[in-house]
């Protein structure tokens, strides 16, 4: 696998969101990220893979503007992000990060009021706030929960309400940190369906996860955080690279493991994503 060297082959359209040579760390500790580059093209599904503690979350925090890189830059549409309050505020309307634990993101007692938090802070008039809240709740499939108290919701419902809170900001890029952690299969399905609706509305989705099978079934591109750097490529290139995955503390997805065990190669352009795909290939 090779690095995607953006500087040598600049794409025609700059990535909607990118990191270029980002170094990041926390006070009193060593760097967590060491000259990391990442590109998110508009409309491309990027899965950010890595073990717990590998720096996935830190990278997402850099991209969202929550963490200021020690060196390097975060670029939106090719323009570097400035960490001044005005520029940061604007950035936050374009890029929203949804944290792993929904309870860290739900500050109000009831669903509607919580989702309105962002739009109200934008200083929008009431009517517009209302529109945005309804729109976000509908997109996430939780409109029927609007008048419920947050603590009455199931974990999966809280998760989708938390995403709705970010979506009400109408971001161009939605960064999700471990969105499926703790969700049962039904919850995962509902969340993925909601994300697809958002993509239909023009939102680009980036997902950090350690679930390799999820990445395999969902992503267009994969970026792996390993040893403080990021290696990004199209899905199959990364997820068939057993050495890379092993050094990242991950294993290849099951279709790759199976096809490998059968001595067969995986098609880069048309990977078999589901059990039906694999069966069709083997039949």
The stretch near another protein (CB under 8 A) out of 111-119, 214-222, 235-243, 255-263 is 111-119
Count the site residues for a second copy by CB under 8 A.
34
When asked if residue 255 is in the footprint of another protein (CB under 8 A), the reply is no
- Strand, helix or coil at 31? strand
Residue 13's Cβ-count burial label (10 Å; 0-12, 13-18, 19+) is exposed
- Per this entry, what is the length of the chain? 283
User: What character string, x for contact with another protein (CB under 8 A) and - otherwise, covers 31-70?
Assistant: ------------------------------x--xxx----
Q: How far is the CB of 190 from a second copy (least distance, A)?
A: 10
Q: Which residue among 91, 170, 210, 231 contacts a second copy (CB under 8 A)? A: 210
When asked if residue 107 is in the footprint of another protein (CB under 8 A), the reply is yes
Using the Cα atoms of residue 89, residue 143, residue 135 and residue 94 in order, give the sign of their dihedral. Answer: positive
Q: Which residue among 136, 145, 150, 266 contacts another protein (CB under 8 A)? A: 150
Q: Which residue among 78, 103, 254, 268 contacts a second copy (CB under 8 A)? A: 254
- Within 10 angstroms of residue 141's Cβ, the number of other Cβ atoms is 16
- Strand, helix or coil at 76? strand
Which residue is listed with tokens 């009455």?
A: 152
Q: According to CB under 8 A, which residues from 50 to 89 bind a second copy?
A: 50-53
Query: Using CB distances below 5 to 8 A depending on partner kind, what does residue 184 bind out of another protein, a second copy, none?
Result: a second copy
Query: Using CB distances below 5 to 8 A depending on partner kind, what does residue 12 bind out of another protein, a second copy, none?
Result: none
Buried b (16+ CB within 10 A) or exposed e, 224-261: bbbebebbbbbbbbbbbbeebbeebebebbebbeebee
CB 222 within 8 A of CB 245: no
- Strand, helix or coil at 174? strand
Using the Cα atoms of residue 137, residue 138, residue 140 and residue 141 in order, give the sign of their dihedral. Answer: positive
Q: How far is the CB of 173 from a second copy (least distance, A)?
A: 25
Residues 18, 170: Cα–Cα separation, whole Å: 19
Residues 208, 177: Cα–Cα separation, whole Å: 5
When asked if residue 282 is in the footprint of a second copy (CB under 8 A), the reply is yes
Q: How far is the CB of 84 from another protein (least distance, A)?
A: 13
Q: According to CB under 8 A, which residues from 121 to 180 bind a second copy?
A: 154-156, 178
What residues pair up with 39 in beta bridges, in sequence order? Answer: 18
Nearer residue to another protein within complex by CB, 74 or 219: 74
Q: Which residues bind another protein (CB under 8 A)?
A: 27-28, 61, 64-66, 85, 89, 92-93, 96-97, 99, 101, 103-110, 112-114, 116-122, 126, 129-130, 133, 147-152, 165-166, 169
Q: Which residues bind a second copy (CB under 8 A)?
A: 50-53, 154-156, 178, 181-187, 210, 212-213, 249-251, 254, 257-258, 260-262, 275-276, 278-280, 282-283
């Amino acid at each position: 696998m090779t690095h995607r060297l953006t500087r040598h082959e600049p794409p025609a359209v700059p990535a909607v969101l990118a990191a270029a040579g980002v170094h990041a760390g926390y006070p009193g500790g060593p760097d967590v990220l060491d000259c990391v580059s990442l590109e998110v093209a508009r409309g491309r599904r990027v899965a950010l893979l890595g073990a717990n503690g590998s720096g996935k979350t830190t990278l997402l925090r850099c991209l969202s503007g929550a963490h200021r890189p020690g060196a390097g830059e975060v670029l939106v549409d090719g323009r570097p992000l400035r960490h001044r309050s005005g520029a940061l505020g604007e950035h936050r309307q374009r890029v929203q990060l949804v944290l792993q634990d929904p309870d860290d993101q739900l500050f109000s007692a009831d669903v509607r009021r919580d989702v309105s938090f962002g739009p109200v802070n934008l200083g929008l008039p009431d009517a517009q706030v209302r529109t945005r809240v309804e729109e976000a709740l509908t997109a996430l499939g939780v409109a029927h929960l609007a008048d419920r108290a947050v603590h009455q919701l199931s974990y999966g419902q809280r998760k989708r309400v938390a995403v709705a809170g970010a979506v009400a900001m109408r971001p161009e890029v939605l960064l999700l940190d471990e969105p499926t952690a703790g969700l049962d299969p039904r919850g995962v399905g509902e969340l993925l369906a909601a994300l697809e609706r958002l993509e239909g509305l023009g939102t680009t989705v980036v997902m950090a996860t350690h679930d390799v099978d999820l990445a395999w079934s969902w992503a267009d591109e994969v970026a792996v955080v390993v040893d403080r750097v990021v290696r990004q490529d199209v899905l199959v290139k990364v997820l068939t690279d057993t050495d890379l995955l092993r050094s990242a503390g991950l294993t290849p997805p099951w279709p790759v493991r199976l096809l490998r065990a059968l001595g067969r190669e995986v098609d880069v352009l048309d990977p078999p994503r589901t059990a039906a795909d694999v069966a069709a290939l083997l039949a």
